[in-house]
């Protein structure tokens, strides 16, 4: 166990998130003894979400530690999510003796965790002996951050954890790994092709994904956009990489960019379901330039005219160097037309917020009309956001100005990342965090608000309670006293949960009450919980992506 603690310290791990029990309890104490912060959670999934969020924000692997069997499985959901979202993360789980598992002897919490994890992680290692541990930790770190980042699993078997070694012999196992992340430059031909396609564009645009935010090459992206006057469209977790309300922002003109742009540079994003797979609404004559570290991402759903494979920073350096002195062919009316459209749409959006400010009970837009100016006046706050309508409406309402200050459900659009990601963001950065949660979304992880309270983190949780999954007005299909499948409790008092753990709490029913509560909570830099009472009919099924639902043949009120 000491060897594991030393190995983590040796590669520079500063925080470990987890939940203790057989066989890792003493290991957690020894990890603390190495000066590493052990953040103990109430559920492994949330500890994993915290680790993954640290990975996204810092480019260093966040570490999750769990017990065996179902504890391992709980954590694995977060590690799989990290792999899909390209967050560097390491899950270390205690495991039964593999020789007993292989013989199906019925040992304690018997499960072949190593082979269970392999299909959903980037890499997996099994430590059968104590001497394996330093190399496994070092290799896991390298695997997590290299190429396309992702989740890595270490099967920490009980025999390895409990093995006793001579201290001097154990010390010989530790070494300093060199070049944990080795950036690879794109080839010159691909850069030349990309520049030729870009400079010939009449209506160019740049699409920014969370990979662009993760890469921390903000200045290079800013130079490309501003020097060559290219409009940009950020995905949700790339918001703030360039100011959402900047003069070249096409955030309000997404459909127009998709329909009319003739060349789009895709930086750190995937042309997946969130972007209509690069087809459908997109200009059929579109030429895509795609910058990605993974060659397998090219041509996934549509042909890529100019793939640029390599480290994001080196790719942008090469493109900017090649473009130096080059002239763009863009139509002068392209940017001005987008700016005019953005001005018109932003005015309509502001009018929408203004029209709902007096609604009682409050609706999502009523509450967001209060929250928007407060968050925007405190740009260094990290915003965590999940839900259906709560996610979609908050993303649309609140402008971001600083990179990596928004974390949400990302590629899988899953619920249940809220408290873990909020805690991970606060621990990894030391910054104040505001989590805006739907009541359904908060239910997945709400008990771990107690973790924020135990550690005294500067976290304000804002819960939009409309009494249901999507809303609280679902109608059962048959005569029953049971609630509808989407109905929760419109009268729930989530603020009482915060009281149980010693947090400052608020139950608000009016815009003025919400404004005062949020302002006071942020200023306190302490764990706070604000229960925002909304109307039961606020929200619609699946928020903005209801079109993904199969159409029922019967009338259903959701």
- pLDDT tens for 399-417 read 999 999 999 999 998 899 9
- In the predicted model, is pLDDT for residue 11 greater than 90? yes
Give 487's DSSP letter: B
Note whether 384 and 433 are within 8 A (CB).
Answer: yes
For residues 308 and 314, what is the distance between their CA atoms, to the nearest angstrom? 10
- Decide if pLDDT at 224 tops 90: yes
The pTM of this model reads 0.96
Predicted confidence band of residue 265 (pLDDT cuts 50, 70, 90):
very high
Please check the confidence at residue 388 and state whether its pLDDT lies above 90.
yes
Report how far residue 173's alpha carbon sits from residue 528's, in angstroms, rounded to the nearest whole number. 45
φ, ψ (nearest 5 deg) of residue 249: -70, 130
Q: What are phi and psi of 532, to 5 degrees?
A: -100, 115
- Cβ-in-10-Å burial (0-12, 13-18, 19+) of 112 comes to middle
Residue-wise pLDDT for 455-510, tens only, equals: 999 999 999 999 999 999 999 999 899 999 999 999 999 999 999 999 999 999 99
User: What six digits make up the tokens of 128?
Assistant: 């059968």
pLDDT 10s digits, 86-109: 999 999 999 999 999 998 999 999
Average pLDDT of the residues in 212-218: 98
Q: Which CATH class is domain 188-336?
A: alpha beta
Distances in Å between the Cα of 520 and the Cα atoms of 166, 211, 447, 527 are: 55, 34, 23, 11
Q: Give the pair of three-digit tokens for residue 310.
A: 């390599």
| The pair of three-digit structure tokens given for residue 79, joined into one six-digit string | 């590690």
- Condensed to tens digits (0 to 9), the pLDDT of residues 323-358 reads 998 999 999 999 999 999 999 999 999 999 999 998
Please report which residue ranges of 59-182 form alpha helices under DSSP H.
70-85, 98-102, 113-117, 133-145, 158-162, 167-171
Residue 470: what pLDDT?
Answer: 95
Q: What is the pLDDT of residue 553?
A: 85
Same CATH topology for 188-336 and 357-548? Answer: yes
Q: Count other Cβ atoms within 10 Å, centred on residue 278.
A: 22
- Mean pLDDT, range 189-195, rounded to an integer: 98
pLDDT at 245 over 90: yes
Q: What residues contact 553, with CB distance under 8 A and at least 6 apart?
A: none
CATH of domain 357-548: 3.40.50.970
- Is 90 exceeded by the pLDDT of residue 303? yes
pLDDT band at 374 (very low <50, low <70, confident <90, very high): very high
Instruction: Check residue 479 and give its pLDDT.
Output: 86
The overall average pLDDT reported for the chain is 96
Q: What mean pLDDT do residues 272-291 have? A: 95
Does position 252 have pLDDT exceeding 90, yes or no? Answer: yes
- Mean pLDDT (whole number) for 203-216: 98
Grouping H, G, I as helix, E, B as strand and the rest as coil, residue 129 is coil
Helix (H, G, I), strand (E, B) or coil at 477: coil
From 21, 22, 14, select the one nearest 42 (Cα to Cα): 21
Q: What is the CATH number of domain 1-173?
A: 3.40.50.970
- Specify the pLDDT at position 413: 86
Cis peptide before 23 (omega within 30 of 0): yes
pLDDT above 90 as % of the chain: 95
pLDDT one-digit tens code per residue, 431-458: 999 999 999 999 999 999 999 999 999 9
Domain ranges of the chain: 1-173, 188-336, 357-548
- Per-residue pLDDT averaged across 140-148, rounded? 97
In the structure, what pLDDT confidence band is assigned to residue 547 with cuts at 50, 70 and 90? confident
Judge whether residue 362 has pLDDT over 90: yes
CA Rg value for the chain: 25
pLDDT for 8: 98
Q: What is the Cα–Cα distance from 251 to 413, expressed in whole angstroms?
A: 20
DSSP assignment of 8-57: HHHTT--EEEE---TTTHHHHHHHHHTT-EEEE-SSHHHHHHHHHHHHHH
What local confidence, expressed as pLDDT, does residue 225 receive? 98
For residues 86 and 238, the answer to whether their CB atoms sit within 8 Å is: no
Strand partners, 66: 93
Mean of pLDDT values over 258-275: 97
514: Cα separation from own chain's centroid: 26
158: preceding bond cis by omega (within 30 degrees): no
∠ CA 108-20-9, nearest 5°, is 115
pLDDT in tens, 160-171: 999 999 999 999
* Cα 21 from Cα 44, distance rounded (Å): 11
Euclidean distance between CA atoms 29 and 19, whole angstroms: 12
């Amino acid at each position: 166990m000491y060897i594991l603690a030393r190995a983590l310290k040796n590669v520079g791990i500063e925080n470990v998130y987890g939940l203790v029990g057989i066989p890792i309890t003493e290991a957690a104490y020894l990890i603390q003894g190495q000066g590493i912060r052990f953040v103990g959670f109430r559920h492994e999934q949330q500890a994993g979400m915290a680790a993954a969020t640290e990975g996204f924000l810092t480019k260093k692997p966040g570490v999750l530690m769990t017990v065996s069997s179902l504890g391992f499985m709980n954590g694995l959901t977060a590690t799989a999510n990290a792999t899909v979202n390209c967050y560097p993360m390491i899950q270390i789980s205690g495991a039964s003796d593999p020789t007993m598992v292989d013989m199906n002897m019925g040992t304690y919490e018997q499960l072949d965790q190593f082979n269970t994890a392999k299909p959903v992680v980037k890499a997996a290692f099994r430590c059968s002996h104590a001497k394996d541990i330093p190399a496994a930790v070092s290799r896991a770190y390298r695997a997590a951050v290299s190429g396309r980042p992702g989740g890595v699993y270490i099967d920490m078997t009980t025999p390895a954890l409990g093995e006793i070694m001579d201290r001097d012999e154990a010390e010989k196992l530790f070494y300093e790994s060199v070049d944990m992340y080795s950036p690879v430059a794109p080839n010159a031909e691909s850069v030349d092709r990309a520049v030729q396609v870009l400079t010939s564009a009449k209506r160019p645009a740049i699409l920014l994904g969370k990979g662009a935010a993760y890469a921390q090459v903000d200045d290079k992206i800013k130079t490309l956009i501003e020097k060559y006057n290219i409009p940009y469209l950020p995905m949700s977790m790339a918001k703030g990489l360039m100011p959402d309300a900047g003069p070249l922002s096409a955030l309000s003109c997404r459909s127009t960019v998709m329909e009319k742009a003739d060349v789009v540079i895709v930086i750190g994003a995937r042309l997946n379901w969130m972007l209509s797979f690069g087809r459908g609404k997109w200009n059929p004559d579109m030429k895509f330039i795609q910058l990605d570290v993974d060659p397998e991402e090219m041509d996934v759903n549509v042909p890529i005219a100019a793939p640029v494979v390599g480290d994001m920073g080196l790719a942008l350096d090469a493109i900017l160097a090649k473009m130096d002195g080059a002239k763009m062919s863009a139509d002068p009316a392209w940017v001005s037309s987008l700016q005019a459209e953005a001005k018109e749409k932003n005015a309509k959006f502001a009018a929408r917020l203004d029209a709902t400010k007096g609604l009682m009970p409050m609706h999502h837009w009523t509450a967001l009309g209060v929250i928007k100016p407060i968050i925007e006046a405190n740009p260094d706050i990290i915003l965590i956001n999940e839900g259906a309508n709560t996610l979609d409406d908050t993303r649309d309402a609140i402008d971001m100005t600083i990179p990596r200050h928004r974390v949400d459900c990302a590629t899988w659009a899953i619920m249940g990342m809220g408290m873990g990601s909020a805690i991970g963001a606060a621990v990894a950065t030391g910054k104040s965090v505001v989590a805006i949660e739907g009541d359904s979304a908060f239910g997945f992880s709400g008990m771990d608000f107690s973790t924020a309270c135990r550690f005294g983190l500067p976290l304000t949780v804002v819960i939009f309670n409309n009494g249901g999954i999507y809303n609280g007005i679902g109608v059962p299909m048959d005569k029953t006293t049971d609630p509808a499948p989407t109905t929760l409790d419109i009268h729930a008092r989530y603020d009482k949960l915060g009281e149980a753990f010693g947090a400052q709490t608020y139950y608000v029913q009016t815009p003025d009450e919400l404004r005062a509560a949020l302002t006071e909570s942020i200023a306190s830099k302490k764990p706070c919980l604000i229960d925002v009472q909304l109307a039961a009919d606020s929200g619609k099924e699946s928020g903005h992506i209801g079109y993904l639902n199969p159409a029922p043949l019967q009338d259903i009120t959701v």
